[in-house]
Chain A
Amino acid sequence: MRLVRSAVTILAATSLLACPKKPPPEEQPPPVAECDGAADRTPMRLLTRAEFDFTVADLLGDTSNPSRDFPREPIVNGFDNDAKSLQVTDESVTRYLEAAEAIAGTAMQTQRSRVVPCQTRDSACADQFIAQTGRRLFRRALTVEEKASFKVFFNQVLASQGNDFDVATEWTLQVMLQSPQFLYRFEEGQTPASKWDFRTPLIGTELATRLSYLLWASTPDDTLLDAAETGQLDDPSVLEAQARRLLADQRAMRGRMRFFNLWLRTEDIARLSKDPARYPNFSPQLAKAWQDSLDLYLRDIASGPGTLKALLTSDRVYANNLMESYVNRSGLGSDFTPVSMPGTERLGLLTQPGLLARLSSPDQSSPIRRGIFVLDKVLCQPPPPPPAGFNPVPPAPNTGTTTRERFLQHSTDPFCAGCHHLIDPVGFGFENYDAVGQYRTSENGKPVDASGSVYAARDEKLSGTFSGVVELSKKLAESRQVHDCVSAEWMHFAMGRGLGAGDACSLTQVQERFSTSQGRFDELLVAIIMSDTFRTRPAGEAR
């Protein structure tokens, strides 16, 4: 992805024009750099644990978090939905079996009317159950063959289980919940118009599925499926209207939060631990409070202003009684309250206590982790890796020096300085915050120097010195490079794969729209959905 990111950037810089529309006529050589350029053949996508749970909750009202013991997804580029890496194992099929049994059992007991759309217990009602519940679970109408195979099974169970309609329904539901049509998102695509086409539009239901899993982390609702099955999503204006309808729904918070949480890797925060000798106030409850506080902050941004600028420069910090010292308040209860901070101590995402604590060591702050985070996740300009065979020995925390002094070797030793002149000066700007994210103006009796600098950012306006994270955040919030980076990250997440040269044209359009919209996240999502990369898949795969 690192290489790809720079490739994309180079391409993006040279092709800001609207992309050519249609592939060339028959018998001409294929195009090489259009929006329909070749892309990785992503395998069918397995539902992630979060997607599985939201889907089951939406379809069957089961909010018991049935995937909680499923194997963890591999994390690729920070995301849990990498199509290539997500594969079933002995363990996952075992968990699917258990989950299907539990879900089907609960559904028949408590949600029977959702599962069985008729009152009779006859063959016609079984057909209706198979067609309706099958369509919802498989996110498309069942084929004749599928309907027939489920009916054969249903009847077999009926015969072997004393003609008990509900038992046959429950077992059939178990089969559906373990069928690949439910567990994977299959994409066949429409038949390509020309054999030279690199890409072909998705079938309506396939596009509806991409749409709802991006925005809701869940399955399409009946309205969206209806529109898809009648071919309406082929019309861009209908597609956009559906996208906006989904964004206006409460469920859209799931999609936004899933991206934020993975991008910022927030799930680690509640499990952080800190050296009790140095941080006697630390407790697992505090770590949990950091994570909750950050979660509330992100929801606040997503449901309120909804812009990247607000994310980076909101003056709010959510605090409760465990976090009073972070907001200079007292008398807070155990519930979280938003506190507006004067813009000197804290401003925006980068000063949220949970994030600062995560980007630290257990016993001291980490200019390295903080610097790399900004370069990699905010600027999409990660520093080069150190040469092979080097030996990173972080200085021991001690009582006589500041962190900045301890990390001085990086700039004095030419071997380290090659890369660390890119990393450390960014991280030093965070020195007003210790390893538990607490604001400080002195360390070990010496004043903190929180001046920092950014070298050689692609956005020239970012390069140069700054004083503290507050000033840095204000600069980042205005930067096109930061907006482009978030566009690329979110698009990567949307596709479940790294972006390649074939996506460059689409990405450029998405980045342009995000920037033009003043960094509105929902406009970014609409732009991703309307892009060729999102609406098509590689053509010509042998069937």
Chain B
Amino acid sequence: MKKLLSRRNVLRGAGGIAIALPLLPDAARADGGEIPKRFVGIYVPNGVFTPQWFPTAGANEQSFTLNQIHQPLAPYRDKMLFVQGIDMNVAITGTGEMHQRGLGALLTGAKLNSGTFVGNDGSSAGWAKGQSIDQAIAAMVGQTTRLASLQLGVNAQERDVSGVMSYAGDAQPLLPQNDPRVTFRNLFMEGSGPVLDATQKRRKSVLDAVLDQVAVVKRRMGTIDQQRLDGHLTKVRELERRVTALPPGTCATPMAPGELQFLSEAAMPEVAKLQLDLMTVAFQCDLTRVVTIMFSDAKNHRGMPFLGINSSIHNISHYGDADQMRLKLAERDRWQAQQFAYVLESLKNLTDSNGTTLLDNSLVFQGSDVSRGNVHSHDDMPHLLAGGAAGWQMGRYVKFSGQQHNNLLVSILRAFGGTQTTWGEPSFCTGTLRGL
């Protein structure tokens, strides 16, 4: 079974067609027999319509009822963990405005640098001050894959702190890639034979010479530039490793997506489908184990015409809960729930070498920059967790009280084998969450 992905699968997504595969033997082999864990981080902007978002609690944690927005997730109810009472206190004060701070802290748990990025309200900020957990996870699980991590976007246009969720480190933003065509090229650029082909040999030779040039010029420069050149050197070395890596045996290169207007509002569903399908292929072929994906950005002054929403979602998020306009946000939330369901479905359709599904071996985390856009609050963050990688009992609705957001982040890191005892701004982290 060489060709695992038909053109249809990649271009239109699996859409219910099970890509049931015999497994990902290479993934396990590369890790000495351990089944690797995967992480997916999803960003949804500007908070949610809370009255229809959190589940209705039952007699115990397991007996909750999904609210209207999350009906698309009904088939995965038992794979999901709803948490309430997680407060992103680190984002309540500091440089920048609430959306900037919330997105900056979502995976970093850090405050923002000062800077000149003008926020939605006119205040300004710089990049987030720390590494994001997806990058820390990539350092643990992503070192044998072609790409340590992937940052994807669906119309995430802002090119500043309002448009970034992943950080390699302090003020080192990793802007998401919005074009599925380029995502494809990031994943598949190698030859496909069992030995290095001529292209791979040439690239290795050329990149070796580029590395020589970096070394030559580095000797002449001052310390700041030397640090940058070290970073450049590392990136070229990693590129060389990627272009010379032999393709995983079970995985053939699928057809590339075609060109599309990937920044148009109307194309969002199509782009989302393509990006998520490419994410699935990347997992399937074990090209990466860590993906973050942003649906629009924190400014988000865009409509969603395919849902009949023609005014700015950001503005809509500001209306009072009783206002008819704000109901449109619930429609947006429901669309996001469909995307989330599609991620879970895609992961469930892939099988690891021991017969477990990728959903069993993944943790999917969705979050936002604020909890409720109309008050810009950071308490009760609308976090959604799914999958079995963390080893937490899923199918629950857990109500915490006043727990720090950063405690959840450090708990996720430990679930992936991290030894961290704190994450992000230290004064906003008191340790792991008990009761997950």
Q: Which residues of A are at the interface with B, using a C-beta cutoff of 8 A? A: 1-2, 41, 43-44, 69, 71-77, 80, 84-85, 87-95, 97-98, 100, 143, 145-146, 149-150, 153, 156-157, 160, 171-172, 174-175, 178-181, 184, 186, 188, 271, 273-277, 284, 361-363, 372, 376, 382-386, 388-394, 396, 498, 541-543
Contacts and interface: CB of A to CB of B under 8 A. Distances in A.
Q: Nearest 4 A-B pairs (CB), nearest first?
A: A385-B123, A541-B222, A179-B213, A1-B116
Contact of A146 (B115, B216, B224): B216
B382 interface: no
Contacts of A362: 301, 303, 310-312
Given A75-B158, A89-B175, A392-B318, 14 more contacts: A69-B182, A69-B185, A90-B148, A91-B186, A143-B216, A149-B213, A175-B206, A178-B207, A179-B213, A186-B217, A284-B264, A361-B312, A361-B315, A396-B323
A392 B301 CA distance: 14
Contacts of A363: 310-312
Contacts of A276: 310
Interface stretch (B82-90, B233-241, B355-363, B415-423): B233-241
Contacts of B239: 90, 93-94, 97
A392 B103 CA distance: 18
B175 A188 contact: no
Contacts of A85: 127, 171, 173
A1 to B, nearest CB: 4
Given A69-B185, A97-B243, A393 B172 contact: no
A92 B174 CA distance: 11
B124 interface: yes
B331 interface: no
30 contacts: A41-B222, A44-B221, A75-B159, A76-B117, A77-B116, A80-B159, A87-B228, A90-B186, A91-B182, A93-B236, A153-B209, A174-B206, A175-B210, A188-B220, A271-B157, A271-B263, A274-B310, A361-B315, A372-B122, A384-B122, A389-B98, A391-B318, A391-B374, A391-B376, A392-B120, A392-B318, A393-B374, A396-B325, A541-B224, A543-B220
A71 B150 CA distance: 13
B213 A376 contact: no
A356 B223 CA distance: 46
Contact of B159 (A72, A90, A389): A72
Contacts of A361: 301, 311-312, 315
Contacts of A2: 116, 124
Contacts of B121: 385-386, 390, 392
Nearest to B101: A388
A75 B222 CA distance: 26
A47 to B, nearest CB: 13
A94 B210 CA distance: 13
Given A71-B177, A73-B159, A88-B232, A186 B122 contact: no
Contacts of A41: 222, 224
Interface in B200-225: 202-203, 205-207, 209-210, 212-214, 216-217, 220-225
A180 B232 contact: yes
